[in-house]
Amino acid sequence: MSKPSLVSSNKIFGGEQRVYSHESSEVGCTMKFGVFLPAEALAGTKLPVVIWLSGLTCTEQNFITKAGAQRVAADLKLIIVNPDTSPRGLNIEGEDDSYDFGSGAGFYVDATTDKWKKNYRMYSYVTKEFINLINDNFPTIPNKKSIFGHSMGGHGALILALKNPGMFCSVSAFAPISNPIQCPWGKKCFGGYLGEDQGAWKAYDATELVKSYDGPPLDILVDQGTADNFLSEKQLLPEHLIEACKSNNVPCVLRMQEGYDHSYYFMASFMEDHLKHHAKHLHQ
């Protein structure tokens, strides 16, 4: 595994917000990621880690600059890491044709169709390469990690937790794409990355996965803004996730936040709640 190279570092709330790059064997290109290290981590103390997964069109920069997470993470003594959302610059025909497929839209799956399967392996990238990269190079406690994300990244956080029982201590999401096999974004990406067999799509759908979840207790928190235009466009379908959780007695709290939209203004408003949700489990 290649060592990460430091791209930038800025002091913030007593810690450092850093950006690194590394050569990824899973996706076959240079990938960037963010790391917030509280003061205690800079001094060598091992801390729990929370992984953030971003949504469509995002790079590693969106969360770093807009989410307002560093102050809370410093107070709670949490390392936060956030990878990019897809491979970049592979010169695959069509990779930059639309905002919701290809570059910036890896959807956290391992592609199986011929055109995409070599590089679009964001599921394996996060669960195998990225997590190991973080544990090998930063002062983390390997068995103390949680995951959360937004929109496509909320989908990613949910499926990674549900497909890997016990890997994460907790999971949460802002406006997740909860039932991608039933929404336009999911149908487009799953069809392109996974092919025409819709039965195979269920392996990356949180609503389907939670119906058969049989692992350690998983405390799920979901926030959804009522003024989110993608909610009304039936891209997110949180009600499907809640019904599926109820059917299998998986605890899931859905909070409908009045007047909030799909932007980082929404996430910044409730970021503290989500990090406290994870700290509750990570500091046990």
Residues noted as catalytic: 151, 228, 262
Please state, as a whole number, how many other Cβ atoms lie within 10 Å of the Cβ of residue 248.
12
| Contact (Cβ atoms closer than 8 angstroms) between residue 267 and residue 150 | yes
Among 129, 139, 124, CA closest to 2: 129
CA atoms of 76 and 170, how far apart (whole Å) = 15
CA atoms of 89 and 7, how far apart (whole Å) = 18
Burial class from Cβ neighbours inside 10 Å (0-12, 13-18, 19+) for residue 275 reads: buried
| Contact (Cβ atoms closer than 8 angstroms) between residue 272 and residue 221 | no
- Residues in the chain, overall count: 284
Among 139, 153, 147, 149, CA closest to 167: 147
Among 122, 96, 90, 87, CA closest to 194: 122
Q: What are phi and psi of 184, to 5 degrees?
A: -60, -45
Encoded amino acid at 170, one letter: S
| 50 DSSP β-pair partners | 80, 146
